[in-house]
Structure 1
């Protein structure tokens, strides 16, 4: 009995062993098969996409009233019949574009109007399905696929960059520029780049970049194009490279008459004003050294409103005094200095203006006025101060002299319209102390011993020598505390700390 039981158990063990070996062989075979399949899959070369599957063309740079858009679009469609091409504008072109697309015969060419309307339309970038976007300037022709292949190859080697190709007639005339955008100072400064790696390119050219780069910009299709695009790409440190390739040529000449050229020049200027207002840019310093202003002037209001507690609104935007306002403030200060000198008024630089003179010989970069103290007994020596006691008066150069409504203070404004100003505080001596009849908690023009004015000293300020108290450091530390010259602060550090 025991012998039979042992034989049965042995038989079961043998069967289990045979089944296990069979199961193990199947698993090994499956693993080898999967490995081979995976190896075959990874070794398969990816399908090479056609240019029309990789690139979408946008025509953005053309004039509504005179252009070569139709033939430019046709040239690229002839070379790439299946490529998607968008014609983008802010107003419907007039005369109308002579395109067959108006009757929907070419579905891969689309018109897109950026002007707002009551009807909803999807953002153009959301409708672009390709990885790359190519911007083509008006009046361009292409005679082979080579230029786009060159651009794609460059971006493939340097992802996150912009590739540029000149239209052949302009290849030697392109300008490669570097940009320094200083938001705090409202300024863009240009310099010529030494190589073909730029921040901005000026001249007629094609632009290719990844669509995702456009999606990260505020508005890549802003006019004037492509200048607005380059401002945004430069701010994001996107490098631009100028390439070389043939097969890009000029199309039909446009804007040949003096009238159309003048019209374009006027339009470009208005577009620049609008663009710089959007991006809060007031000063452009060209690579030639020429400065262009897009801020306030004598005929327009200053760039900021009422100032509370000596803290202008721009400080809370992490900006300093707009450069146009600063330039106008310097002009006003120099004008006042000359008028006081001519009249023989004894005056000196006060408060934050004296602090700025000690630090840099200029107005503090965030200050919105200039403070001057003068001897009250000399008031009638200056005819403009004398006249201003009874009513505001405009002098021969358009500066407005006015007695302040808030206490015994005089103000000189750049003009009636532009209220950037110089403050004039009348002091008088009382028991050896220089004092005045009214004070402002927001100003540091406190009483001080008249020994600071005997004798007077001088200091460089806004490009000229200006009278000042003697022992300037002691004078300033009396008002602002120890180390005030070396440790900048905003007027009210409790509201906003200096960067």
Structure 2
């Protein structure tokens, strides 16, 4: 009897080993990085309150209003820090990780279990009680491209068109025309969207919330539908003068941080332009250029607009200074090419080039001062002799090294030459007849001196079809397209 029992035990042991091997193989054969399917979301709406200030808010009243109208609602207060003083019976979701919490605590998927989510600003009341249901039906019945439904919170909404160009680092708003799908809305609003769409956004609850949501949704081609004839009652908060001042200060800082995170340096809209890039007091937006190819080109982007603005300002200042000193100058290299193509700096260029007559250097006090080191002029521009060669450089400021290069040429046997060359293919000698006389070309908002017959000079420097066929500065490293 013992022998059959031994056989049975051996067979069971072998079966367990086979099952263990199969289970191990199954786990290891799953594609790398593949996540387990998310649990199914249940019907209903989760309310998230993100737009509030911890120092002055109406969260208790909002919570009471929504739960009185819809007792089954889940209301989440999303914040980096909990309100102070604490408010009882609020479900606060901490957006910043804390060492005593699990990593899942900061993920929205851990807190939202409904198919829809409503983003509600502080001070809002739910009246009438079916408003959220009406928004849900509007989202259900909307065309496939519409992923967000908006209803006014305290006032009407404006339908806006929003174009976001990551290549140009720019978000541009304008009033939508009749029949055009909204890309954003103007005015405080309650936004309803599918929870999975919110989960899909890399910055789902960045502040200012509406700006961050709309820029990310525009990049995905999502439309916004305004629920006509619907408006949530809302009391604007903060209500005190000091609270509003603190709110404005905080929102400016939040917006700057969010725009930088979203790679937006310029926001254009009906109220004017808002800049979020470099300035005279900050470094420029990119580091040292290697191989004539700035780092942003590798990312499929062109020169940040704040950098182009600084280059235009520096160039205008340099031209004004040279003309005041009777220094003969002209647009050189890629800057002359930009004037011929666009009457502006080439959108992916990172400096401005001007040629000057070497014998005129002594006429300009700033250039004379730069010969012995560097000089900071009365407007904060830095004039210096370049360390890379025998030429001059004018920087936007001590902190921001966006610059104009001044290349000293002199005539020799009727040919313009110089003592320092960079090795660029277009960096060549050329007949002085191109400079006698000089002409004026519009360039980056000013009238700049340029070689006569400049199209022929550009063909000599860059090739026959250099104007018609744009290319990046160093095609051997990176080609356009």
Range of TM-score over shorter length:
0.7 to 0.9
Does residue 1:92 correspond to 2:82, yes or no?
yes
Q: Distance in 2 between matches of 1:197 and 1:324?
A: 30
- TM-superposed deviation, 1:245: 5.1
8 A Cα contact 2:425 2:461, kept in partner? no
**Aligned counterpart, 2:148:** 162
Q: Distance in 2 between matches of 1:448 and 1:442?
A: 15
- TM-superposed deviation, 1:345: 1.2
8 A Cα contact 1:401 1:412, kept in partner? yes
The one-character-per-residue Cα deviations of 1:302-346 (angstroms, maximum 9, x if unpaired) are 111111122111111111111111111111111111111111111
The structure 1 residue matched to 2:121, chosen from 124, 128, 137, is: 137
Q: What is the TM-score normalised by the length of structure 2?
A: 0.87
8 A Cα contact 2:152 2:230, kept in partner? no
**Aligned counterpart, 1:257:** 240
The one-character-per-residue Cα deviations of 1:120-178 (angstroms, maximum 9, x if unpaired) are 242122442221111222112224432122112111112552111223x413xx23221
The structure 1 residue matched to 2:55, chosen from 49, 59, 65, is: 65
**Aligned counterpart, 2:289:** 307
C-alpha spacing 1:431/1:278, structure 2 compared with 1 (3 Å): same
**Aligned counterpart, 1:281:** 264
Q: Distance in 2 between matches of 1:248 and 1:419?
A: 50
For residues 41-440 of structure 1, what are the structure 2 equivalents within 5 Å?
Answer: 53-97=43-87, 99-100=88-89, 110-118=91-99, 119-122=101-104, 123-158=107-142, 159=144, 160-167=146-153, 169-171=154-156, 174-195=157-178, 197-244=181-228, 248-250=232-234, 254-288=237-271, 290-440=272-422
Q: Distance in 2 between matches of 1:100 and 1:461?
A: 63
Does residue 1:469 correspond to 2:451, yes or no?
yes
Greater CA drift, 125-134 or 257-266: 125-134
Q: Distance in 1 between matches of 2:120 and 2:443?
A: 51
Over aligned residue pairs, what C-alpha RMSD do you find? 1.9
The one-character-per-residue Cα deviations of 1:67-99 (angstroms, maximum 9, x if unpaired) are 1111211221122222222121111111211x2
- TM-superposed deviation, 1:254: 3.5
Q: Distance in 2 between matches of 1:352 and 1:96?
A: 60
C-alpha spacing 1:247/1:423, structure 2 compared with 1 (3 Å): closer
For residues 451-490 of structure 1, what are the structure 2 equivalents within 5 Å?
Answer: 451-490=433-472
- TM-superposed deviation, 1:369: 0.8
In structure 1, the gaps of 5 or more residues are 1-51, 102-109
C-alpha spacing 1:73/1:245, structure 2 compared with 1 (3 Å): farther
8 A Cα contact 2:366 2:377, kept in partner? yes
8 A Cα contact 2:291 2:477, kept in partner? no
**Aligned counterpart, 2:20:** none
Report SS of the residue matched to 2:120.
Answer: strand
The one-character-per-residue Cα deviations of 1:372-417 (angstroms, maximum 9, x if unpaired) are 1111111101111111111201112211110111221000111111
Q: Distance in 1 between matches of 2:342 and 2:394?
A: 23
- TM-superposed deviation, 1:440: 0.3
Number of residue pairs aligned between Structure 1 and Structure 2: 435
Max Rg structure: 1
8 A Cα contact 1:140 1:249, kept in partner? yes
- TM-superposed deviation, 1:226: 2.4
Q: Distance in 1 between matches of 2:366 and 2:425?
A: 24
Q: Distance in 1 between matches of 2:266 and 2:98?
A: 33
Report SS of the residue matched to 2:242.
Answer: helix
Q: Distance in 2 between matches of 1:294 and 1:301?
A: 13
Moved over 4 A (4+): none
C-alpha spacing 1:371/1:135, structure 2 compared with 1 (3 Å): same
In structure 2, the gaps of 5 or more residues are 1-41
- TM-superposed deviation, 1:247: 7.8
Q: Distance in 2 between matches of 1:221 and 1:491?
A: 39
C-alpha spacing 1:443/1:407, structure 2 compared with 1 (3 Å): farther
Report SS of the residue matched to 1:272.
Answer: helix
8 A Cα contact 2:155 2:231, kept in partner? no
